[in-house]
Structure 1
Amino acid sequence: MRLVITMAAVDRFSLLYREISRSCSFYMEALAIVGAWYTVRKCVSLALDTYSVLRLHVIPKLSGEIDLVKKYGKWAVVTGSTDGIGKAYAEQLAKHGVNIILVSRNKEKLEAVSRSISETYKVETDFIVADFSKGRELYPAIKEALKDREIGILVNNVGIFYAHTDYFTNLSEDTLWDLIHVNIASATMMTHIVLPGMVKKKKGAIVNLSSGVCCQPTPMFTVYGASKSYLDYFSRSLHYEYASKGIFIQSLIPFVTSTNMVAFSSTVSKRSILFPTAEEYASHAVSTLGLSIRTTGYWKHAIQWTLGECLPEWMWAWFALYLSRILRKEALAAKAKSE
């Protein structure tokens, strides 16, 4: 009797399983199609990303150099050009035969860099002394100095950071105004001065130096990051306004580079596999000119950007806050030790 009941139960279970499988087959097929579609999309996305990396960071290095003078014009204006990325970028443009106009606040450094570039790369150089923290009073003189030049490339590189990573309320009013005048107003007004001439010639390029901290909200970089986010938005929007007029506008978004801007920390100011020198960064960044309107400019930084975008905002912010506190503590300890 027990054997019969057991067999009947097995039969009923087998029948039930067949009925359930039959009714679910449609859903299984639908899920299989969704899975296949997701896989195809990911594969296509990976292929496009790989192609983009090769097009930006590999192919330009293998192919012949682009004639920047013919493509954009004889002269390039580079702001913040006596140190770091600005100086290195100016040298790379000079290497391509472009004449350079350096703009910075230190006359002695300007003279030295101008002479060095002219002698090394056999191009014409000039310089304009300008302290962008002074606000709108200096732009009429800059406009007058540039009015008879054929400006083909403008590199808005000048920028400042805090003395070290810090909380917003610890920043002085002078620091906040300097960040606004130097990081935001300078690029806006320099572009306003140079762009009409480019439009008239129907060719030109403008490069605005943003920062990787605008990838996601970054605490203790708050005002600096916001100013760099402005440049990123400004560049991308302006490109769509003027691309049809032959003007190429690029938002360049580097991550940490070993320059004086990060000298407050011995940890991030040293060259490493993730932190290139300004010269190494600039040699890659210049090769992306004319190819991408928004790029980190360097393949290692591109990997960092991709990883940063994958992180949830809270995780990025938590890690940034943790790291910033360490850097602040390190900077304050070094300052106390030197006093």
Structure 2
Amino acid sequence: MLGFSAKWRPGSDSWAVITGSTDGIGLAYAKAMAKKGYCVFLLSRNQQKLDKVKADILNEFPKCPQVKIMAVDFTLDTIYKRISDEIHALNGHVHVLVNNVGMAYKYPEYFTKIPNSDQFISNILNCNILSVTRMTHIILPIMEARRSGIIINVASYSALFPTPFLAIYSASKIYMDYFSRALHSEYSDRGIVVQSVLPYYVSTNMIRNPRISFMIPSPDQFVHSALKTVGVETRTYGYFAHNVLAFFQSFIVKFIIGNNLNTKIAYFRMKRLRKGCYKRKGLSHYV
């Protein structure tokens, strides 16, 4: 789905807000916004990591006018009044929001066998669904008033089709994707770009830092590529190799054979990963 040309508006009073900004893709977006010359407001859970990222950005990107940090746990639903107060107290206005924070399973698992499932269900829904909704609800009115803004929601390739053994995770990313695409339709005529980003594997902590390859870019490589699509594609896979894979699975497999095949492939792949995890723990995978 094509959008319109995005207009970046960095400056001494123009802010980019990034959640989950101390590692991986979120950190790469934070550095990219600082490099463009935005003030950056970084939200993440670990205060020590935030302090380090702030120092690194100020040292590496002299064009970045200000760096503000806030330690916050997005698995909680009581944080948004404090976040809203901090955002509205910024010296300037918010022009970019990157909703990147998220959590995943530690390993693929049957829905009824997820460890500490009551807490995990609340945590993942708060982190993956509530965060993108509430952060957008706080910041979108600021953009609407100025008729200018860019919202980038980092979903996942798993939003393409249901992923067994990662049921809550893949469902939460489908929510992000649909939410983003609907909002873009609502607000594109008001000068606001809303982009859904669906990365395949990127070398990050979330997927245990796999080796960088043609199919698995570093976070900086991925974000450098994905930013070229802002205002061009409202739904993007962000990276050439991921586009190729998505074309194969979304069009060739889905429309010629049927989407059930993708889910069946995911079923056997995730079940094999689950078996490997149980084996490493010395447990029976039939548990």
Is the TM-score greater than 0.5?
yes
Q: For residue 109 of structure 1, what is the aligned residue in structure 2?
A: 49
- 8 A contact 1:110–1:127 mirrored in 2: yes
Q: Which has the higher helix share?
A: 1
SS of corresponding position for 1:154: strand
Q: CA deviation at 1:197?
A: 0.7
Letter in 2 for 1:110: L
Which of 253, 262, 265 aligns to 2:207? It is 262
RMSD between aligned alpha carbons?
Answer: 2.3
Q: For residue 168 of structure 1, what is the aligned residue in structure 2?
A: 111
Aligned runs of 1:1-339 on 2, under 5 Å?
Answer: 68-69=8-9, 74-122=14-62, 123=64, 124-135=66-77, 137-149=78-90, 150-171=93-114, 172-263=117-208, 269-309=210-250, 310-311=252-253, 312-336=258-282
Runs of 5+ unmatched residues, structure 2: none
- TM-score normalized with structure 1 length: 0.76
Letter in 2 for 1:127: I
Letter in 2 for 1:118: L
- 8 A contact 1:217–1:313 mirrored in 2: no
Name which structure has the greater RCO, CA cutoff 8 Å, separation 6+: 2
- 8 A contact 2:10–2:37 mirrored in 1: no
Distance in structure 1 (CA, Å) of the matches to 2:156 and 2:186: 23
Q: CA deviation at 1:334?
A: 3.6
Please tell me whether Structure 1 or Structure 2 has the larger radius of gyration of its CA atoms: 1
Paired residues in the alignment total 271
Q: CA deviation at 1:272?
A: 2.1
Distance in structure 2 (CA, Å) of the matches to 1:106 and 1:334: 29
- TM-score normalized with structure 2 length: 0.89
- 8 A contact 2:183–2:194 mirrored in 1: yes
- 8 A contact 1:68–1:98 mirrored in 2: no
Greater displacement, 178-187 / 163-172: 163-172
Distance in structure 2 (CA, Å) of the matches to 1:207 and 1:139: 19
Q: For residue 29 of structure 1, what is the aligned residue in structure 2?
A: none
- 8 A contact 2:10–2:38 mirrored in 1: no
Distance in structure 1 (CA, Å) of the matches to 2:232 and 2:282: 47
Assess, with a 3 A threshold, how the Cα gap between structure 1 residues 114 and 277 changes in structure 2: closer, same or farther. Answer: same
Superposed CA deviations along residues 276-330 of structure 1, whole A, max 9, x for unmatched, are 1111111111121222111111111111111111212222112111111222223
Q: CA deviation at 1:75?
A: 0.9
